[in-house]
Amino acid sequence: MSKNFVVAIDGTAGSGKSTTARGAAKELGWFYLDTGAMYRALTYKVIRDKIDYKNMEALQEMLTQTTIEFKFEPANNNYVMFLDGKNVNHQIRGAEIDSMVSHIAAIPQIRAMMVKAQQKAAQGKNTICEGRDIASVVFPAADLKFYLDCNLDERANRRKKDNHPKSTFHEIRNNLIERDYIDSNRESSPLVRVADAIYLDTTNLAIEEEIKFVVDMIKLRLLTEKK
Ligand code: DC
């Protein structure tokens, strides 16, 4: 393969994007770019440092003092995100971050900085990138695009099992509704299903099936690319 291959995966909150993208990237030995983790990391910093994010000067100052990098961790056989040199992947998955992240991710200045960082991070690597605006804004020329969705109750059930044993089913379900609404209706690069994305409903699929579907489609695309 001569050029780098980029796969874009977008979709609703909790639709299985991260698990599928991470699993497919692991199987192919490719770079997994979790853009949601970047918005979560900034949200974590805003909360931790009590940044008045509605004050553009304070926000700008925070952004100039922030680095987000991805480093390969052999123990995980994958890339891990670092915020200002620290691994915060555990801290960014809690309910407090869930309830605030869509508000932070809607700020145009933040999006502009993150999109640049995402494009830079993927340079020179075969990449599977996952988020909300990947096929529409970050990598509009991606080689393959997917849009994942899943029944709302099933998404809430999965979240409860995986991340949030302390939150109730209804709290999680309401948070998913709210995040999908904000993510899809914000002015700056909202979640959209682009016309050339392959649609995958994961409601009745096991994780292995989702990963296999994406990997098979990528392999097929690589085969036709070579001809
Ligand atoms: O995929 P996730 O749940 O980790 O994403 C967290 C939030 O970040 C999500 O509610 C919307 C936002 N996000 C975004 O606006 N654009 C992206 N490319 C990825 C995530």
Q: How many domains does the chain have?
A: 1
Alpha-carbon separation of residue 92 from 15, 45, 81 (angstroms): 18, 9, 11
- 188 inside domain: yes
Residue type, 147: Y
- 29 inside domain: yes
Q: Which of 16-25, 37-46, 73-82, 133-142 has the lowest mean pLDDT?
A: 73-82
Mutate to test the pocket of ligand 1, among 132, 146, 187 (most ligand atoms within 8 A of CB): 132
Q: Which residue has the higher pLDDT, 166 or 113?
A: 113
Q: With a 6 A CB cut-off, is 105 part of the ligand 1 pocket?
A: yes
- 185 inside domain: yes
What phi and psi, each to the nearest 5 degrees, are found at residue 90? Answer: -75, -45
pLDDT of residue 226: 66
Q: With a 6 A CB cut-off, is 94 part of the ligand 1 pocket?
A: no
- 1 inside domain: no
- 80 inside domain: yes
Is the backbone of residue 14 left (phi > 0), alpha (psi -120 to 50) or beta?
A: left
Contact present, 11 and 148 (Cβ < 8 Å):
yes
**For residues 219 and 5, what is the distance between their CA atoms, to the nearest angstrom?**
11
Q: With a 6 A CB cut-off, is 13 part of the ligand 1 pocket?
A: yes
**For residues 97 and 17, what is the distance between their CA atoms, to the nearest angstrom?**
18
- 148 inside domain: yes
pLDDT of residue 30: 94
Q: Which of 35-49, 67-81, 84-98, 211-225 has the lowest mean pLDDT?
A: 67-81
Q: What is the mean pLDDT of residues 132-146?
A: 98
Q: With a 6 A CB cut-off, is 133 part of the ligand 1 pocket?
A: yes
- Supply the mean pLDDT for the chain: 94
- Does pLDDT of 143 surpass 90? yes
Q: What is the mean pLDDT of residues 81-96?
A: 94
pLDDT of residue 2: 58
- Does pLDDT of 1 surpass 70? no
Nearest CA to ligand 1 atom 4: 36
DSSP state of 51: -
- The owner of tokens 């304070």 is 58
Full domain range(s) for residue 45: 6-222
pLDDT of residue 60: 95
- Residues of the chain with pLDDT > 70, as a percent, come to 98
**For residues 48 and 28, what is the distance between their CA atoms, to the nearest angstrom?**
36
pLDDT of residue 78: 77
Alpha-carbon separation of residue 110 from 4, 24, 32, 148 (angstroms): 27, 28, 21, 24
Q: With a 6 A CB cut-off, is 179 part of the ligand 1 pocket?
A: yes
Q: Which residue has the higher pLDDT, 95 or 220?
A: 220
128 Cα to the center of ligand 1, angstroms: 15
C-alpha 220: how far from its chain's center? 24
**For residues 213 and 215, what is the distance between their CA atoms, to the nearest angstrom?**
6
- Does pLDDT of 222 surpass 60? yes
Mutate to test the pocket of ligand 1, among 133, 183, 202 (most ligand atoms within 8 A of CB): 183
Nearest CA to ligand 1 atom 2: 36
- 150 inside domain: yes
113 Cα to the center of ligand 1, angstroms: 14
Residue type, 137: V
Q: What is the mean pLDDT of residues 150-177?
A: 91
77 Cα to the center of ligand 1, angstroms: 24
221 Cα to the center of ligand 1, angstroms: 27
* pLDDT band with cut points at 50, 70 and 90 for residue 138: very high
- 227 inside domain: no
Q: What is the mean pLDDT of residues 64-82?
A: 88
**For residues 96 and 89, what is the distance between their CA atoms, to the nearest angstrom?**
14
The CATH number of the domain holding residue 62 is 3.40.50.300
pLDDT of residue 227: 53
